Amino acid sequence: MSRSPERLAILALGLSLAAGPATAAWADPGGDVTAGVEDVVAPVEDVVAEVESLDGAESEARQGEQVTVAIAGDVLFALDKAVLTPRARQRLGRVAARVRADSAGGTVRIEGHTDDQGDDAYNTALSLRRAQAVRRSLQETLTGAVFQVAGFGERRPRVPNVVQGRPLEENRAKNRRVEIVFTARG
């Protein structure tokens, strides 16, 4: 970009207009154009990178060093059950390998979640039983790891279960999940 006097004059005009009428000053297009510059400070939200499997049954989000692997409850368990399916054991084996390879140590959190159908107390208990089942499976391959298990029921949905007064099954399916949270090496 050339720094012709005309361009500098236009830039000065733009800066003075942006600064407001009280500080506007016209510069001589042939002369030296200077303008005060203030620091712009804007908050930066945490960046969360999320990748979802092609079948939508698993996702991985990374926020700083924290990694969250979410596996759909429909993949892990039969409806209203807390016993792992054979397909779940395969997925959890891959998650365990990932934790073993990338973990910086520390606690591995396992959090169970449900959708909004049913009684809250029942959903909380079911989500805890499911998280415990996942912990038992991961303990077989992640020996020596420290686990923290929690069941949140329907209290922490990923997406709204009901939109514009209508329940959405695809959203409810996303909310039925177990999350494995660990700290990755930097």
From the list 59, 49, 131, the residue with the least C-alpha distance to 98 is 59
Distance between CA 139 and CA 173 in Å, rounded? 26
Q: Which of the two residues, 52 and 44, has the higher pLDDT score?
A: 52
Residue 148, CB half-sphere, CA atoms under 13 Å: how many?
A: 6
| Contacts for 159 with CB less than 8 Å, ≥ 6 apart | 171, 174, 175
The pLDDT tens digits of the residues spanning 156-180 come to 999 999 999 999 999 999 999 999 9
**Mean pLDDT, rounded, for 2-24:** 56
At 179 the pLDDT is 98
Q: For 133-162, give the DSSP string.
A: HHHHHHHHHSTT-EEEEEE-TTSS-SS-SE
Which two structure tokens, joined as six digits, stand for 176?
Answer: 């039925």
Distance between CA 99 and CA 68 in Å, rounded? 10
The pLDDT tens digits of the residues spanning 109-159 come to 999 999 999 999 999 999 999 999 999 999 999 988 999 999 999 999 999
At 1 the pLDDT is 46
Comparing 5-14, 58-67, 76-85, 98-107, the range with the smallest average pLDDT is 5-14
Contact 69, 138 (CB under 8 A): no
Confidence of residue 48 (pLDDT cuts 50, 70, 90): low
